[in-house]
Chain A
Amino acid sequence: TQLLEQSPQFLSIQEGENLTVYCNSSSVFSSLQWYRQEPGEGPVLLVTVVTGGEVKKLKRLTFQFGDARKDSSLHITAAQPGDTGLYLCAGATNSNYQLIWGAGTKLIIKP
């Protein structure tokens, strides 16, 4: 059974601080996606990483795919209250392209 473990499960920090969220698996994925979900809404795709070692930046968010394509991290620099939400990672395999989802990291940024 393929599993994606996210850590931490919950993080509450002050505005301006930096943070890193992790997504780990023992399985290899062809691609890995990060989503943000706000209360009462569906997940919204932030980024897709496909190459081992790949780094993508989205303003203050930096996403990295592990060299072995089994893990990924999301780093937020100078967090803002608008970054508050549930961050989900999801991995895809070439076999059926279905997404394997992590349980999410609930992030709260306090002003």
Chain B
Amino acid sequence: EAGVAQSPRYKIIEKRQSVAFWCNPISGHATLYWYQQILGQGPKLLIQFQNNGVVDDSQLPKDRFSAERLKGVDSTLKIQPAKLEDSAVYLCASSFGIGDTQYFGPGTRLTVL
């Protein structure tokens, strides 16, 4: 069974530029999560989708971050404009349903210069 796919794996941009990350969850998983993991910290939930609807985006900085899961399968997370403090690993995870085991992708390491 294929795992959670993420791309790109690495991205380096300058501040004020925009960037987008892509995630393809495990087939059949209705719930999709985007996390931000800053070096030395645990993952922080940015947004949670159930199919194509948003369950929780309370910690998403909506002035610069946006995410969508239009067809309820793959998802994109966008940052525009990026700030230095956005440098982190962005993890995508999926689960069969809410409360079920989460399976994580390899993450995208973002460096903002």
Residues of chain A at the chain B interface (Cβ within 8 Å)? 4, 9, 40-45, 48, 88, 90, 92, 96-99, 101-104
B16 at the interface (CB under 8 A from A): no
Chain B residue, CB-CB nearest to A89:
B42
Among B42, B98, B107, the residue within 8 A (CB) of A102 is B42
Q: Nearest chain B CB to A95's CB is how many angstroms away?
A: 11
B61 at the interface (CB under 8 A from A): no
* Complex contact B42–A103 (CB within 8 A): yes
Chain B residue, CB-CB nearest to A9:
B40
Q: Nearest chain B CB to A49's CB is how many angstroms away?
A: 13
| Known interface pairs A44-B104, A88-B42, A103-B42; A96-B56 also in contact (CB < 8 Å) | yes
| Interface CB pairs A-B, < 8 A, 23 | A9-B40, A40-B106, A42-B4, A42-B91, A42-B104, A42-B106, A44-B104, A45-B101, A45-B102, A45-B103, A48-B101, A88-B43, A92-B99, A96-B56, A97-B98, A99-B43, A99-B45, A101-B42, A101-B44, A102-B42, A103-B41, A104-B40, A104-B41
* Complex contact A42–B105 (CB within 8 A): yes
Residues of chain B at the chain A interface (Cβ within 8 Å)? 4, 9, 40-45, 48, 56, 91, 93, 98-99, 101-107, 109
CA distance A102 to B45 in the complex (A): 13
Q: Nearest chain B CB to A22's CB is how many angstroms away?
A: 15
* Complex contact A97–B44 (CB within 8 A): no
| Known interface pairs A92-B99, A99-B102; A42-B42 also in contact (CB < 8 Å) | no
CA distance A48 to B101 in the complex (A): 9
| Known interface pairs A102-B42, A103-B42; A43-B104 also in contact (CB < 8 Å) | yes
CA distance A9 to B42 in the complex (A): 11
Q: Find chain A residues with CB under 8 A from B4 CB.
A: 42
